[in-house]
Amino acid sequence: RAKAAASAAGASYDVVALPQVDGPMVTRFPPEPSGYLHIGHAKAALLNDYFAHQNPGGVLICRFDDTNPSNESMDFQDAITEDLALMDIVPDKTSYSSDYFQQMYDLAIQMIRDGKAFADDSELGKGDESRKNRLPSKRRDMGIQETLERFQEMQTGSTEGQRWCLRARIAYDSPNGTLRDPVIYRCNLTRHHRTGTSWKVYPTYDFCAPILDSIEGVTLALRTNEYRDRNAQYEWMQQALGLRPVPIWDFSRLNFVRTLLSKRKLGRIVKEGGVWDWSDPRMPTVRGIIRRGVAVTALREFILKQGPSRNVVNLEWGTFWAINKKHIDPVAPRHTAIAADDVVYCDVVHRDGAPLDAAVLDVPKYVKNPSLGTRKVKTGKTIILEQSDAQSVEIGEVITLMNWGNATVRDISRTQLPGTADDAQSSGPPSIVKRLVLELDLDSRDFKKTKKMTWLAAVEENMVPVELMAFDHLITKDKLEPSDVLEECLTPVTQFTTKAFADCNVADLAKGTVVQFERKAYYRLDVPYSGHDKSPMVFFEIPSSGK
């Protein structure tokens, strides 16, 4: 199997070789406008984009598969267009299944006239039974004339018409269930967001996809491999209608542990208030994961690396976040945040007792990437440390105040916590640290054995209030079984907020900036600084493993 380098993305990994196609490649991504795109759709969209554009002259079609007005809307259509743009996918052409309603209707008539379709009472339960038992429908022998009349009745949307559906006459007893006379047209009186009430009958996916792929000049149809059984049916449709055959390439469906990838179920969580909206950072939607801090380049690398695999597995998020970390780490400026709970004030003094003058140091935003520029580090005679850091030091110990220098701990004042003094069983700290005295020793340059401490000079403009938010998976089970009730598998608490103070540079960051708070984690800024109301800035933690 030959491999092609993912050069378009400027990346150096390999993706699967494609079947040979003569002339330029034409692929299509066919979303139904029934929800926002999720990471599973991202896989389909990015693979189609990659294959279309790996050689010059290729075409990516975004075809809105809007054949079921009960699920679909203009809002979802617009959202999907935006989602593609968010992933830097620019289709060369956008089309709509609904643009072909007349053409598909005419092809259905042609199929009936050729004796390859019949009308059936749409008592679906019963139809499924006979299909399961490989028995013919009692309507299977319906003649051409009667089938035409029934189909036309369906298109009037009458009560009688609605009882019927149109089925392809393929092979009711085939070992391949998808060939057992599949339904190709159904009635639906719901108003369509593009064609209004002109149509009362709509083609099914099984009928629509092979026809439009052929008509639109698709040279390679990508499908998830759980549809592999449908390939024979797809070929049958094109053959029965005398259309150009289209080769199929299948890839594995993307699944992640503790993650729902179904527009319908995600829509339910949105509706029931389990998340803020479709772009909630806990959602596996394209906009959700980007808001959570996924770099689009990382998403692309992850998907294209998955490309060759046709095994349907339940992926761990860890792999995904590890790739993301590689993309964000080199460009994330480093900043400081100090958890606000029980923050410890420290007096910083010189050895000779001389007063310490406040200063502003200029330090690189990230030492390993000087091109990011510098940030201001304010020093001063009073600084703050986190309680847990202050707990960890002893009198006489030399510590390193990051980006400033070494200091010796000269004094520690503690306060007894109420209720813990006589409690011998208490395993927690018996007291909290109230104040430290640190003697600065900038001449000491030995940082090898010292504890590194994050700190901030305790002046107002250098203690920007922020909220650091971390999230858990929405569902408790690795994989939802069809018998599971969604509402019973929702994680009770999925959002965790820590209040903190951040350095003065943070106030200037723009929404969407990815930073690292040193010794904490990577974060993406969701709510930037608003000077007026003093409400905290909000950062979302970007996992770099597990979560």
Q: Which residues bind to ligand ATP, rule: CB under 6 A? A: 30-32, 35, 40-41, 43-44, 65, 224, 253-254, 261-263
CA 384 centroid distance within chain:
37
- For residue 382, how far is the Cα from the chain centroid? 43
Look at the block and give the residue holding tokens 């969580």: 269
Q: Min. distance of Cβ 323 from ligand ATP in angstroms? A: 17
Query: Which one of ligand ATP, Mg ion, none is in contact with 41 (Cβ closer than 5 to 8 A by kind)?
Result: ligand ATP
Q: Is 72 in the site for Mg ion (CB under 5 A)?
A: no
**Shortest distance, CB of residue 200 to ligand ATP, whole angstroms?**
23
Residue 293 binds which entry of Mg ion, ligand ATP, none, CB below 5-8 Å type-dependent: none
CB-based closest residue to Mg ion: 32
Q: What residue type is 166 in one-letter code?
A: L
Q: Which is nearer to ligand ATP, 263 or 292 (CB)?
A: 263
* 8 Å CB contact between 501 and 460: no
Pairwise CA distance, residues 109 & 283, whole Å: 43
Among 16, 29, 30, 32, binds Mg ion (CB under 5 A): 32
Half-sphere exposure of residue 277: CA atoms within 13 angstroms, side-chain side: 4
As measured in angstroms, the least distance from the Cβ of 32 to Mg ion is: 5
Distance CA 159, CA 165 (A): 13
Q: How far apart, in whole angstroms, are the C-alpha atoms of residue 384 and residue 301? A: 41
What is the C-alpha separation between 325 and 373, in angstroms, rounded?
21
262 exposed, middle or buried (CB, 10 Å; 0-12, 13-18, 19+)? middle
Q: Choose between 35 and 536: whose C-beta lies nearer to Mg ion.
A: 35
Distance in angstroms (rounded) separating the CA atoms of residues 274 and 283: 10
Contact status, residue 378 vs residue 417, Cβ threshold 8 Å: no
Min dist. Cβ of residue 243 to ligand ATP (A): 20
Nearer to ligand ATP, 174 or 224 (CB): 224
Least distance to Mg ion from the beta carbon of 303, Å?
19
Q: Which is nearer to Mg ion, 34 or 505 (CB)?
A: 34
Contact range with Mg ion by CB under 5 A, out of 31-39, 99-107, 149-157, 523-531:
31-39
Nearer to Mg ion by C-beta: 32 or 120? Answer: 32
Question: Shortest Cβ distance from residue 86 to Mg ion (Å)?
Answer: 21
Nearest-approach distance from CB 348 to ligand ATP, in angstroms? 55
Indicate the residue whose CB is closest to ligand ATP.
Answer: 40
Question: Could you give the dihedral angle defined by the CA atoms of residues 493, 499, 505 and 509, in that order, rounded to the nearest 10 degrees?
Answer: 30
Residue ranges in contact with Mg ion by CB under 5 A: 32
